[in-house]
């Protein structure tokens, strides 16, 4: 037994292709609102850049301080052993 699926052809069917996806209105906030409320994209980027540069500067100064401390400690630790050899 064969079963065939058939779909009736409807000559009244039309497809409107001019607008398949409904256009949604885009809401753009007023830039003065960004500045007043403090969440402007520009402010956020600038704050992130400033905080990043400050943290990198702080890390660099800690590395320089540790390097100076290690140099001082090594020179102090090495100098008594040189005097003992003489």
Whole-number average pLDDT of the chain: 75
Contact 27, 36 (CB under 8 A): no
Judged against a pLDDT cut of 70, whether residue 44 lies above it is answered with yes
d(CA 65, CA 72): 11
CA within 13 Å, CB half, 9? 1
pLDDT the model gives residue 1: 53
User: What is the Rg, in whole angstroms, of the alpha carbon atoms belonging to the chain?
Assistant: 37
Judged against a pLDDT cut of 80, whether residue 69 lies above it is answered with yes
Q: Give the list of residues 6+ apart from residue 41 with CB closer than 8 angstroms, or none.
A: 34
pLDDT band, very low/low/confident/very high, at 60 (cuts 50, 70, 90): very high
pLDDT the model gives residue 42: 79
This prediction's pTM: 0.46
pLDDT the model gives residue 50: 94
pLDDT the model gives residue 36: 72
């Amino acid at each position: 037994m064969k079963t065939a699926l058939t779909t009736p052809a409807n000559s009244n069917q039309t497809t409107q292709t001019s607008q398949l996806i409904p256009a949604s209105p885009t809401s753009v906030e007023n830039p003065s609102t960004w500045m007043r409320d403090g969440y402007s994209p520009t402010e956020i980027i600038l704050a992130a850049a400033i905080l990043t540069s400050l943290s990198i500067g702080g890390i660099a100064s800690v590395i320089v301080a540790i390097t100076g401390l290690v140099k001082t400690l090594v020179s102090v630790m090495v100098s008594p052993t040189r005097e003992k050899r003489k």
